[in-house]
Chains A and B, each alone.
Chain A
């Protein structure tokens, strides 16, 4: 079946290469049709999710405020945990507190790495470019701020993820907001509310999985591949459905076929890609070190004056906050699913480890991308998304778009795999476990890859943003109720450290 499909796909690829005019005419038609069919739906959802109030002459989406206020409250409530316990988080990741007898179990490092591979990706490359192209360099400042605050949200949700996870008899472990919402709120005497929030979360998470975790990824990966294969003259231009089909088949082989080797290969290459990306970024920044001061000046000035940006300061702020949340997913609840499997007796330890995630993702990687874009001077080129990042890197290394295209496709792929799991967990929470039920979700997930690759950027971004942000509503309501539980965990944990009951093993 698989070989038949790929054979067909490659035949189509050859055909579209040899008959550009004929093929293109047909394919544009198909892409357009998918676009027209989906746009009205995504417009309605995005409109509802991003209900905005006018502040300072600009529309401010309430949902962005919701996330930032929550992050600020957690930051204050936990006494700036992201700064005070940063060092402790590092020593936990290094394994300083891991008992040797637990070797072979999921380590803090592994839980963090897996969660990171779900978040580091297009948000860091394409999302940042969208933020600075709309919000100007100043958006970077707000993005960093949102990243720093988001560390506290991540801390809260991942501690709860571990505390209320399910440990099945056969030894499997799974957790996430659906469990802490239902179990945690039941403990607080609100079982009904907990159940409702858990169900809403699961529905939104499925939407987020097919939106930001899938269609956005497929879309941006396709854009970048078209870009490096000749832009508008590329043999792939206009045939997003074809690219989507190929990608869907590969994703399907892994998540339905259970072919681990492909996932294994990706997992080895993705960290390497991340290292190449960061190294290239650092080289560009260091070789233009004289311009870094100026870039930071632009970032600060832009943040508080909003010069030349539609919507001024608020415009820059909205873009920065939005893209930070989209990139590091703090307060969204997704990462709590990945972090829950860690081997630890103390839930709060995983919370500390998890707070490193927005730091690496947003404060380090996103900022680097923003600096490269600002330094390159490509900001006024009219490009956006991954094309802008690509152009910025190309200004230093002409060959870089090729590497970036490969990185984008691989990041997209690994993010899709992570989100297919998050979506699946939510789906089985709603409909129950079972092979047949799981296959239905997985097939639907693959179909969405094709849809995502076919659509134009606007509707895809709107749809993925709105579904991912929607997850934050039930999640954060639950976090407010449960934050005293986290505080209790923190207190008993530090009491044990002080009494020497928990100590470093290295």
Chain B
């Protein structure tokens, strides 16, 4: 039993679901908790139109409740395995935030799924797993 949780990056995709299942196995084996992080990509320096400014607060509320909904199946999966699980939805840069949260929570590791994209775009711009591998303060597991 350890009080260092596993941080899992989650976004509702199949890859994320696989990561959750893998994290479930690890957590059961180690006997630790799981903390799910859902990051909504956001930059305070992006550009919005006047109409979007007006509606931003409304949209954010909607986006947050949608994200909570998306988290539900993952929480259910882990609850069924009787693993203590917490979650949070955050706005920002996914790589940076997940590293920050891992540090904050004193996580034992980070687990994320990989979509298997090998497109030029992903290579040039960098994907979340790549960013984490480069910058994470704790071990990172990438689930294919």
Q: List residues of A whose CB falls within 8 A of some B CB.
A: 95, 98, 100, 103-107, 109-111, 113-114, 117-118, 167, 170-174, 263, 267-268, 271, 337-338, 341-343, 417-418, 421-422
**CB-based contact A338/B53 at 8 Å:** yes
B63 at the interface (CB under 8 A from A): yes
Complex CA gap A173/B53 in Å reads 8
**CB-based contact B47/A111 at 8 Å:** no
Complex CA gap A100/B96 in Å reads 13
**CB-based contact B57/A95 at 8 Å:** no
Comparing B5-13, B38-46, B69-77, B134-142, the segment that makes contact with chain A is B38-46
Residues of B16-70 at the interface with A, using a CB-CB cut-off of 8 Å, are 40, 42, 44-51, 53-61, 63-64
**CB-based contact A109/B45 at 8 Å:** yes
Q: Which residue on chain B has the smallest CB distance to residue A174?
A: B54
**CB-based contact A105/B47 at 8 Å:** no
**CB-based contact A109/B44 at 8 Å:** yes
**CB-based contact A114/B53 at 8 Å:** yes
Minimum CB–CB distance for B126 against chain A, Å: 20
**Interface size range of chain B in the complex:** 20 to 34
Closest 7 CB pairs of A and B: A171-B58, A104-B91, A107-B44, A103-B91, A341-B53, A421-B50, A104-B60
Complex CA gap A118/B46 in Å reads 16
Q: Which residue on chain B has the smallest CB distance to residue A420?
A: B50
Complex CA gap A103/B48 in Å reads 14
**CB-based contact B60/A267 at 8 Å:** no
Q: Report 21 cross-chain contacts, Cβ distance below 8 Å, ordered by A residue.
A: A103-B44, A103-B91, A104-B60, A105-B57, A106-B48, A109-B44, A110-B48, A114-B49, A170-B58, A171-B58, A171-B61, A172-B55, A172-B57, A173-B54, A173-B57, A268-B47, A338-B50, A338-B53, A341-B54, A342-B53, A421-B49
Cβ-defined partner of A104 (8 Å) among B53, B55, B63: B63
Cβ-defined partner of A105 (8 Å) among B46, B49, B51, B56: B56
Q: Using Cβ atoms and an 8 Å threshold, which residues of chain B touch A342? A: 53
B103 at the interface (CB under 8 A from A): no
Q: Using Cβ atoms and an 8 Å threshold, which residues of chain A touch B53? A: 106, 110-111, 114, 173, 338, 341-342
B92 at the interface (CB under 8 A from A): yes
Complex CA gap A170/B50 in Å reads 17
Complex CA gap A2/B16 in Å reads 42
Q: Using Cβ atoms and an 8 Å threshold, which residues of chain A touch B47? A: 110, 113-114, 117, 267-268, 271
Q: Using Cβ atoms and an 8 Å threshold, which residues of chain B touch A173? A: 53-54, 56-57
**CB-based contact B49/A341 at 8 Å:** no
Cβ-defined partner of B54 (8 Å) among A95, A100, A172, A267: A172
B114 at the interface (CB under 8 A from A): no
Complex CA gap A267/B91 in Å reads 22
Cβ-defined partner of A103 (8 Å) among B51, B59, B90: B90
**CB-based contact B57/A106 at 8 Å:** yes
**CB-based contact B49/A343 at 8 Å:** no
Q: Using Cβ atoms and an 8 Å threshold, which residues of chain B touch A172? A: 54-55, 57-58
Q: Using Cβ atoms and an 8 Å threshold, which residues of chain A touch B64? A: 104
Q: Using Cβ atoms and an 8 Å threshold, which residues of chain B touch A105? A: 56-57, 60
Given contact pairs A95-B44, A98-B44, A171-B61, A106 touches B50 in the complex (Cβ within 8 A):
no
Q: Using Cβ atoms and an 8 Å threshold, which residues of chain A touch B60? A: 104-105, 171
Interface centre among A104, A113, A417 (most CB of B within 10 A): A104
Q: Which residue on chain B has the smallest CB distance to residue A264?
A: B49
**CB-based contact A417/B48 at 8 Å:** no
Complex CA gap A265/B74 in Å reads 36
Q: Using Cβ atoms and an 8 Å threshold, which residues of chain A touch B49? A: 114, 263, 267, 417, 421
**CB-based contact B50/A337 at 8 Å:** yes
Minimum CB–CB distance for B97 against chain A, Å: 9
Given contact pairs A103-B44, A103-B91, A104-B40, A118 touches B50 in the complex (Cβ within 8 A):
yes
Using A268-B47, A341-B50, A417-B50 as known contacts, list a sample of 11 further A-B pairs with CB atoms less than 8 Å apart, ordered by residue number in A. Answer: A109-B45, A110-B44, A110-B45, A111-B53, A114-B53, A170-B58, A171-B59, A172-B55, A173-B53, A267-B47, A418-B50
Complex CA gap A258/B51 in Å reads 10
Q: Which residue on chain B has the smallest CB distance to residue A258?
A: B51
Interface centre among A117, A171, A417 (most CB of B within 10 A): A171
Minimum CB–CB distance for A147 against chain B, Å: 23
Complex CA gap A71/B73 in Å reads 58
**CB-based contact A421/B51 at 8 Å:** yes
Complex CA gap A338/B49 in Å reads 9
Q: Using Cβ atoms and an 8 Å threshold, which residues of chain B touch A170? A: 58
Q: Using Cβ atoms and an 8 Å threshold, which residues of chain B touch A271? A: 47
Q: Using Cβ atoms and an 8 Å threshold, which residues of chain A touch B90? A: 103
Q: Which residue on chain B has the smallest CB distance to residue A115?
A: B50
Complex CA gap A100/B55 in Å reads 20
Complex CA gap A111/B40 in Å reads 20
Complex CA gap A98/B49 in Å reads 21
Q: Using Cβ atoms and an 8 Å threshold, which residues of chain A touch B55? A: 171-172
**CB-based contact B56/A106 at 8 Å:** yes
Q: Using Cβ atoms and an 8 Å threshold, which residues of chain A touch B48? A: 106, 110, 113-114, 267
Given contact pairs A104-B42, A104-B63, A267-B47, A341 touches B56 in the complex (Cβ within 8 A):
yes
Chain B, residues 86-100, CB within 8 Å of chain A (1/0): the string is 000011100000000
Q: Which residue on chain A has the smallest CB distance to residue B56?
A: A106
Minimum CB–CB distance for A335 against chain B, Å: 11
Q: Using Cβ atoms and an 8 Å threshold, which residues of chain B touch A117? A: 47
Complex CA gap A311/B70 in Å reads 69
Minimum CB–CB distance for A220 against chain B, Å: 21
